[in-house]
Chains A and B, each alone.
Chain A
């Protein structure tokens, strides 16, 4: 090909917005639209997840962005210009694409696979080599896989290579069609977390297709729920989707456990904790009892001089004149402010306690979490206004 640099070279690192304007697709000979009047606005740097039942048109909607499927009517703009204004080949080299079945070239080494688009747009050898090395590091694969063939890698490793290949020429937009679909649940979770960390760094605009609502909630800044025939049922943030499903279809699709799913989107620090009645060793117990009288938590929490929890004080502990150094019960579980709320709830339930001290990064107690706090929170309006930018989204 010509040695010219593509537009992607010029717009490196800058993500571009993707806008669907009333897009319809009807395949030749089909009786109904595969995608019907779809309008979406995906801001630059965000992950938009397309989710819906099998055959609802997710792949079709995504493939119209890089024109591997031609639009029947309407328009799609990438970075402010219509996709129809560029030649398909040119457009595709500027958009990273991870297809549903990974699709690594079996006859090319990992390095050659990753270098596919750089080779098409005429990068020189040195630049390509450096980029391959950089990407292998980014996806945490050892440098020596570069000369292996795809068949010599595990499914999870191939998946990572697929992502690296899509990222190779640093495209402003990425299309990912069920990129973690064929992976076992444990590795899938790992890949998802890895990818979220990666995205926090690279901040691409990503269209992400899945049929798994949990994955959608985890990965998406915004979620487009599609129903049969590619009709948009709801376009909202994960929290909004879980709080306010637009209709029965979305409610059904999101699942009966949507309250629990909402907890997965939040951290302990996102909700108003109860104040812990703190007690210090050697303190007058009368003082502590007085404090307990008006408190939400019926037990006093013994802390050290740095306010680190030592244990809960029992009635017997408080029967003495001064607070003892060693209380009857341990403070476990001690929760971190940054813990995901769902995990915190699980800890509470598992240890069969009603209350758990919450500590900050230094280990100092900042409050108490209880089952009541969580259920009050879910019932309140506060949950509705919580917004989570991509970087702050909880993941392990």
Chain B
């Protein structure tokens, strides 16, 4: 394992830090806006890669989690099985998981997405599961009593009522994935990790890139969170109505 890690790090290109000792980046001050502005083009593709990593892995995690939640909804004995399995996956350190997957899926975006999805799985499954378990008994009884089939009950009553909790899970998953995905660089998948490690740490801890890379990650997380809060409101108008 350690050997793999070393070879991996060796593959990362090492560059010299800035040339002149008089410039801001030359003195390696905390943050050099001029450097960022001059090299702004270099940041575009890491951000886009990061977006793809987050969106793809949250979507995949969400889809699988929902299938698991619906499967275990009618079969209660499956719940501890799924929670246990996804929980074990969740506890594997992320770098280790990337490296474990390398021999199977090779280096690249796919590997990173698979690993990140496995993390999302646990968070979204847990929320979906508790959302489905918390449907008011009276709503289920009246639905059944009026002649809804199991499937109609699921689609018309249970899933819509569990939606706020499901989306809350997606929010947590998304925000933490924005952070964890910076490690995708170790699977060779690019992303903001490229700015932080390749351009930051590897360049003798180039502070400007570390600060700016972090800033980008935090901004992304906040943006996703805000977006999902909007989705949550839109998906559950009756919750706002209660406040009237």
- Residues of A whose CB lies within 8 Å of any CB of B are 1, 63, 66, 68, 88-93, 97, 99-108, 116-117, 120, 148-149, 151-152, 165-166, 175
Contact = CB atoms under 8 A, between A and B. Distances in A.
B139 A106 contact: yes
Contact of B146 (A106, A116, A152): A116
B141 A151 contact: no
Chain B interface mostly helix, strand, loop or mixed? helix
Interface string B143-158: 1111111001000010
Interface residues of B, number: 23
A106 B238 contact: yes
Given A105-B142, A105-B157, A106-B139, A149 B238 contact: yes
Nearest to A106: B238
B241 A92 contact: no
Contacts of A165: 146
A106 B148 contact: no
Given A99-B138, A102-B138, A120-B152, A107 B146 contact: no
Contact of A93 (B141, B147, B157): B147
A110 to B, nearest CB: 11
A101 B148 CA distance: 18
Contact of A117 (B146, B160, B236, B242): B146
Interface in B194-244: 236-238, 241-242, 244
B161 A106 contact: yes
Contacts of A149: 237-238, 241-242
B145 A92 contact: yes
A359 B67 CA distance: 73
Given A151-B241, A152-B244, A89 B149 contact: yes
A116 B141 CA distance: 13
B241 A103 contact: no
Nearest to B243: A151
B242 A104 contact: no
Contact of B142 (A89, A90, A103, A151): A103
Contact of A91 (B138, B147, B157, B237): B147
B136 interface: yes
Nearest to B236: A107
Contacts of B141: 68, 99, 101, 103
Contacts of A148: 241
A204 to B, nearest CB: 16
Nearest to A66: B145
Contacts of A91: 147
A166 B145 CA distance: 10
Chain A interface mostly helix, strand, loop or mixed? mixed
A108 B241 CA distance: 11
A101 B145 CA distance: 13
19 contacts: A1-B149, A66-B145, A89-B148, A92-B145, A93-B146, A93-B147, A100-B138, A103-B139, A103-B141, A105-B142, A106-B136, A107-B238, A116-B143, A116-B146, A116-B148, A149-B238, A149-B241, A166-B146, A175-B145
A165 B148 CA distance: 14
A99 B244 contact: no
B241 to A, nearest CB: 4
A101 B146 contact: no
Contacts of B157: 105, 107
B147 to A, nearest CB: 4
Interface in B110-152: 136-139, 141-149, 152
Given A106-B139, A151-B241, A68 B161 contact: no
B106 to A, nearest CB: 45
A105 B146 CA distance: 12
Contacts of A175: 145
Contact of A107 (B142, B160, B244): B160
Nearest to A103: B142
Contacts of A63: 145
B145 A117 contact: no
**Most chain B beta-carbon neighbours within 10 Å: one of A103, A149, A166:** A103
Nearest to B136: A106
A99 B142 contact: yes
- Top 9 A-B residue pairs of the complex, sorted by shortest distance between their CB atoms: A103-B142, A92-B147, A93-B147, A103-B138, A101-B138, A97-B145, A149-B241, A149-B238, A151-B242
Contacts of A151: 238, 241-242
Given A152-B241, A152-B244, A90 B161 contact: no
**Most chain B beta-carbon neighbours within 10 Å: one of A68, A91, A97, A100:** A97
Given A66-B145, A166-B146, 6 more contacts: A93-B146, A105-B142, A105-B161, A106-B139, A120-B147, A165-B146
A117 B143 contact: no
Nearest to A96: B146
**Most chain B beta-carbon neighbours within 10 Å: one of A1, A91, A165:** A1
Contact of A104 (B142, B145, B244): B142
A107 B148 CA distance: 16
A68 B244 CA distance: 35
Contacts of A117: 146-147
